[in-house]
Amino acid sequence: MKDKEMSWSIKMADTVLRRYLDLSDKWDHEYGIVFKGIEDVWHHTGDCKYIDYLLFNIGNRIGENGEIAGYELEDYSVDHINSGRLLFPLFEETKEERFKKAAFLLRQQLETHPRTSDGIFWHKQIFPYQGFLDGVYMGDVFYAQFAKVFNDPALFDDVTNQILLFAKHNKDEKTGLFYQGYDEKRQQIWANADTGCSSSFWGRAIGWYCVGIVDILDYLPEEHAKRQKLIEVLSGLLSAIVTYQEPETGVWYQVVDQGGREGNYLESSSSCMYVYALAKAIRQSYVSQHFLPALKQGYNGILNTFIDEDERGIVNIHQTCQTAGLGITANRDGSFEYYISEPIVSNDFKGIGTFIMASVQVEKLIVQMDDNENESVNITLSKN
């Protein structure tokens, strides 16, 4: 950025370093989302304080032989894989074998992780025969990054097949949106008896799928046979998403297609994910600049709808769905009523991390287009 005073990625990252200095108390997928945002700011700025933060918080969980404190392979949860993405930059930066060994430990989980009959990872062992969109980001991005870093190209076929299986099972042809869950046995309370899918379009689940694809493309070889198909899936889904952008604010609803239906609300983490995916897809030429107006409106909408900054420079993000899922309890039935019933909170790690990630991508796109003397990217980085 030419003017770092205007960089919201730096402002929020520095807020994390001030407010959450020690996040080494557990191995947690939500921490991993924040850590990924911090890693992105480190690459964006080159400021060593960000990698030092990651080294402290991740490093304190990793033993000399690669053991991860608080991690249980036998839980078979793809959520447990997500923080493993930070092992790659830490190994590259420090050359400490413990980070490499920890990455191989997580890879070992994926070798034996239970799957649906056609190959999708069960989201967790406690969710038999069920795949959730969330798993593409939580597990498959690590899987693809591992394949590239440690030169195991055979894994790319598995990664791409899982993404395309979700496109086969979970896509709604009428809206172009994706349902969160797929139950191949059609036995869960939330599963459609014919399709096996859940019944509503939850914003964050769709967001994880978008972000997962656009990140996996970073690692997938240019010549891979399924690469173009993944780009087509991403482009089609982004096209569907922008049609549901709330016109006045530019952001998106918790249940994407239900607009101003009573109880529905504008949700920050999913909005950040869509902006991240849009900005990165435009920057990498996966989609055309036709998406720029939606991106501009979306990012400006995030700043003006969800973000505030106090006199100390501490940044807050509001209106984040605290949690949502399918199964375990009867109320988690995938309905509209369920998704709007979960708590709405401020400064949730899923909101913080995705806001940092989205801001980095927008800022990088602005720099790229400035370099190309393209005037069409007039994105306002200041709040109205």
Q: Which of 134, 140, 215, 257 is catalytic?
A: 134
The answer to whether the Cα torsion of 181, 184, 186, 188 is positive or negative is: negative
Answer for the pair 183, 196: CB distance below 8 angstroms, yes or no.
yes
Judged on CB neighbours under 10 Å (0-12, 13-18, 19+), 278 is buried
Q: Is 134 a catalytic residue?
A: yes
Residue 330: other Cβ atoms inside 10 A: 9
3-state SS class at 62: strand
Tell me the C-alpha distance between 133 and 208, whole Å.
7
CA torsion 319-354-115-155 (nearest 10°) is 170
Judged on CB neighbours under 10 Å (0-12, 13-18, 19+), 150 is middle
> Of the candidates 237, 120, 255, 251, which has an alpha carbon nearest to the alpha carbon of residue 201?
255
DSSP for 86-131, written as a single string: GHHHHHHHH--HHHHHHHHHHHHHHHH--B-TTSPBPSBTTSTTEE
Residue with token string 């190994």 = 91
> Of the candidates 92, 97, 99, 34, which has an alpha carbon nearest to the alpha carbon of residue 60?
99
For strand 307-309 and strand 130-132, is the pairing parallel, antiparallel, or unpaired? unpaired
Residue 247: other Cβ atoms inside 10 A: 7
Tokens of 284: 């990498």
3-state SS class at 77: strand
Q: Write out the catalytic residue numbers.
A: 134
